[in-house]
Amino acid sequence: MSDREQAFQEIFKANSKKIYHLCLGYTGDSDAANDLLQETFLKVWQNLDKFRNQSMISTWIYRIAVNTCLTYLKKEKRAAKDELTPNIIETKEEEVSEKQEQIATLYKCIAKLEESERLIITMVMDELPYPEIAEISGISEGNLRVKIHRIKHKLTELYNQHERL
């Protein structure tokens, strides 16, 4: 295996799961999330040499992922994701458990948020530091804190409303 492939393998291993969560939170569909993940890492592979000297490689990967998710609209107009998509239902049927149901509900609620909110909240839940989220989303840290506060409140309300149903 070449050095380049070795480096890419390590980067992929360290970041793919979180990027997949971001894509899944944005699309609500596992097939689409896998496609977006692949597209994101294709860009990473293409630009690997530019990354070599970057200390925060994850920030760049996240930024590519966010932009790839936003570009996704260009290719396919997605209907409002207020219903569980077949892939999530499939997972739910395979492993029927309270936890799985809660996760499915959480994704369902995330799908009801605006696009930028979906992207930001998945990064918050994956515990990315606020300065990094601000850097990725291009929003000032102060504004981001306000925004995150609102999104957290909105998501919690949506989730609790859903649980009451």
Partner 1 sequence: MKDFDSLVGIWNEQKTAPKVDYKEVIFAYKRGRNKLSAKLLREALLMLLALGAIAYVAASVDFDFWTSYLGLGLVALCCAYFVVMQFINMRKIANSNTLFDKPADHIRFLKAFKQSRHVQHTRNYKLYTLFVGLGALLYFVELFYKMGPLTMGIILTATAAWFALSYFYFLKQYIQQEEAKLQEMLADLERLNQQFSADEL
Interaction between residue 7 and partner 1 (CB under 8 A): no
What tokens were used for 135?
A: 């850097």
Q: Does 3 bind partner 1 (CB under 8 A)?
A: no
Exposure string for 85-105, b = 16+ CB within 10 A, e = fewer: bebbeeebeeeeeeeeeeebb
Positions 59 through 118 that interact with partner 1 (CB under 8 A): 60, 63-64, 66-68, 70-71, 73-74, 77, 91, 99, 102-103, 106, 114-117
List C-alpha distances in Å: 21 to 38, 51, 58, 71, 164: 13, 22, 14, 17, 26
Regarding 43 and contact with partner 1 (CB under 8 A), the answer is yes
Is 56 a residue that touches partner 1 (CB under 8 A)? no
Residue type, 26: Y
* Tokens at 12, concatenated: 């992929």
Residue 146 makes contact with partner 1 by CB under 8 A: yes
From the list 97, 109, 115, the residue with the least C-alpha distance to 157 is 109
Burial of 159 (0-12, 13-18, 19+ CB in 10 A): middle
Q: How far is the CB of 83 from partner 1 (least distance, A)?
A: 18
Interacting residue with partner 1 among 26, 27, 32, 41 (CB under 8 A): 41
Residue closer to partner 1 by CB (options 58, 125) is: 125
Q: What is the CA radius of gyration of the chain?
A: 17
Q: Which stretches within the chain are classed as H helix?
A: 3-27, 30-46, 48-51, 57-75, 86-94, 98-111, 115-125, 130-137, 141-164
Comparing CB distances to partner 1, the nearer of 84 and 119 is: 119
**Min dist. Cβ of residue 37 to partner 1 (A):** 5
Residues that bind partner 1 (CB under 8 A): 5, 8-9, 12-13, 16-17, 19-21, 24, 30, 33-34, 37-38, 41-43, 45-47, 60, 63-64, 66-68, 70-71, 73-74, 77, 91, 99, 102-103, 106, 114-117, 119, 125-127, 137-140, 143, 146-147, 152-153, 155-156, 159-160, 163
